[in-house]
Amino acid sequence: MRNYDLSPLYRSAIGYDRLAQLAEHAAANKGNSGYPPYNIELLSENRYRITMAVAGFSMPELEITSEGDKLIVKGTKAEQANEQRKYLYQGIAERGFERTFQLADYVTVIGADLENGLLNIDLKREIPEMLKPRKIEINHSGLLNKE
C-alpha cells in the first residue's frame, strides 16, 4: 500500500488537522478485513446511521460500546458443539468480529436495532450552545458618547 504525504493539507486547511490525522490512520490501518460490510448514511445535518450486515448473529451475540470518541461493535458467535455440519460450500461467514469507528467531537449514539440481519446504529451530533455560531452586535459608540 502506498503512503501518502498529507502534510500539504496541514498547511493549507485550518481546523482540519484532525480530519487529516484520521485519514492517515485509516490509510495505515492494514488489519481491517472488511468484515462485516457496513454503510454510513447522512440522515440529516446532524444525524447519521451506521448499518452493518450481521446475518446469522442474534441480539445476545452482538455488543455495542461507546468509549470516548470510539464506537466499538463486537460480534461473538456461540459455538455449536452439538451440531456437526458438513458443508459442500460455505459462503456465509460465521466468525466473530470487532469493528471500531472513530466518532467526531460531540457525536453520540442515540440507539440501535437489529432487523432482517442488519444492525442499525443511530448517531447524533449535538454541539453545545456555547460553541454554536452567534451573531455579535456592533455598537457605534462614537455618536453615543458625544453629549
pLDDT, residue 19, reads: 55
Determine the longest span between alpha carbons in the chain, in angstroms: 97
66 SS3 class: strand
pLDDT, residue 7, reads: 61
The 10s digit of each residue's pLDDT in 73-117 is 999 987 665 467 788 888 877 789 999 998 888 899 999 999 999
Residue 83 lies in a domain: yes
Same-domain pairing of 77 and 111: yes
Same-domain pairing of 67 and 99: yes
What is the distance between the alpha carbons of residues 66 and 97, in angstroms, rounded to a whole number? Answer: 16
pLDDT above 90 covers a percentage of the chain that reads 35
Residue 134 lies in a domain: no
8 Å CB contact between 102 and 89: no
How many other CB atoms are there within 10 angstroms of residue 103's CB atom? 18
Structurally, the chain folds into a number of domains equal to 2
What is the distance between the alpha carbons of residues 80 and 87, in angstroms, rounded to a whole number? Answer: 15
Same-domain pairing of 23 and 79: no
Domain that holds residue 4: 1-30
Same-domain pairing of 8 and 65: no
pLDDT, residue 104, reads: 87
DSSP per-residue letters across 102-138? EPPTTEEEEEEEEETTEEEEEEEE---GGGS------
pLDDT, residue 110, reads: 94
pLDDT at residue 43 above 80? yes
What is the distance between the alpha carbons of residues 80 and 48, in angstroms, rounded to a whole number? Answer: 36
pLDDT at residue 45 above 80? yes
Higher pLDDT, 81 or 51: 51
Residues 48-59: what's their mean pLDDT? 92
pLDDT, residue 33, reads: 66
Residue 110 lies in a domain: yes
pLDDT, residue 13, reads: 46
Residue 41 lies in a domain: yes
pLDDT, residue 14, reads: 44
- Residue that has been written with the C-alpha cell 451506521 in this structure: 50
Higher pLDDT, 2 or 105: 105
Same-domain pairing of 47 and 113: yes
Beta strands in the chain (DSSP E): 38-44, 47-53, 62-67, 70-75, 97-102, 107-115, 118-125
Same-domain pairing of 68 and 21: no
Band of residue 12 on the pLDDT scale cut at 50, 70, 90: very low
Say what the pTM is.
0.66
- C-alpha distances in Å from residue 141, one per residue of 73, 86, 134: 57, 86, 21
Same-domain pairing of 105 and 42: yes
